Amino acid sequence: LNVLLAFFSWTGNTRIVAEEIVRCLSPHHKIDVCMIEPRRRRKHLEWLLLSLTPSSKVEILPAIYDASGYDLIILGAPKWSLSCPPMNCYLSRLKGGGKKLAAIFITYGGFDEKRYLNKLVELVEFKGARVKATLLARRKEIRRGEYREWVRMFCERLECANGNTTAV
């Protein structure tokens, strides 16, 4: 598979999971990693305020927006209040994902993560991609290393989905 892995991570948790996904998939697939980075640094309070506005966006550094050359698009983000502005900006520009396999992983502190994940799944499917695997990793569980097993299962699901695209 030709894989695009695009993720945003502010305090490093989502990045840890992203790196494990790369370790898991890279022996068998070609992966391009795209780190979504805000153009400007912001303090926690500013991020918190922005994250309380649904669909708020902030400008990000150049990223891979054209997914047309990929078979699988994996997106990763932290669960931030109501929205994650750098991810919103990225998703608004992402093109060429129609009919592609997709997967989403979210890291979170401890609440409301499922609703956020579902919203992201809806958005990505609205763009025409088919979400075949999702992963929710709690910050505490990332610190303990428990996420590794889930990442392995997440990657296995994706590889199966690829083999079964007509059956699902």
Ligand X SMILES: Cc1cc2nc3c(=O)[nH]c(=O)nc-3n(C[C@H](O)[C@H](O)[C@H](O)COP(=O)(O)O)c2cc1C
Asked if 100 touches ligand X (CB under 6 A), the answer is no
> Helical H runs in 36-146?
44-51, 85-93, 113-126, 139-143
If the CB atoms of residues 5 and 161 are measured against ligand X, the closer one turns out to be 5
Spatial distance between the Cα atoms of 32 and 19, rounded to a whole number of angstroms: 12
Binding test (CB under 6 A) with ligand X, winner from 111, 149, 167, 168: 111
Interface of this chain with ligand X, residues 1 to 30, rule: CB under 6 A: 9-15
Closest to ligand X by CB, 62 or 110: 110
Shortest Å distance, C-beta 71 to ligand X: 26
CB of residue 118 to ligand X, shortest distance in Å? 14
Position 113 contacts ligand X (CB under 6 A): yes
Tokens encoding 52: 């309380």
**Tokens linked to 79:** 């669960």
Helix H or strand E segment including 16: helix 13-25
Min dist. Cβ of residue 124 to ligand X (A): 19
Q: Which string of x and - marks every residue 61-80 that binds ligand X (by CB under 6 A)?
A: -----------------xxx
Min dist. Cβ of residue 12 to ligand X (A): 5
Instruction: Report CA torsion sign: 114, 154, 72, 36.
Output: positive
* Crossing angle between the packed helical segments 147-163 and 13-25, to the nearest 10 degrees: 50
Compute the radius of gyration of the chain from its Cα atoms: 15
Q: Does 54 bind ligand X (CB under 6 A)?
A: no
Return the residues of window 119-148 that contact ligand X according to CB under 6 A.
139
By residue count, the chain amounts to 168
The site for ligand X (CB under 6 A) is made up of 9-15, 47-48, 51, 78-81, 107-113, 139
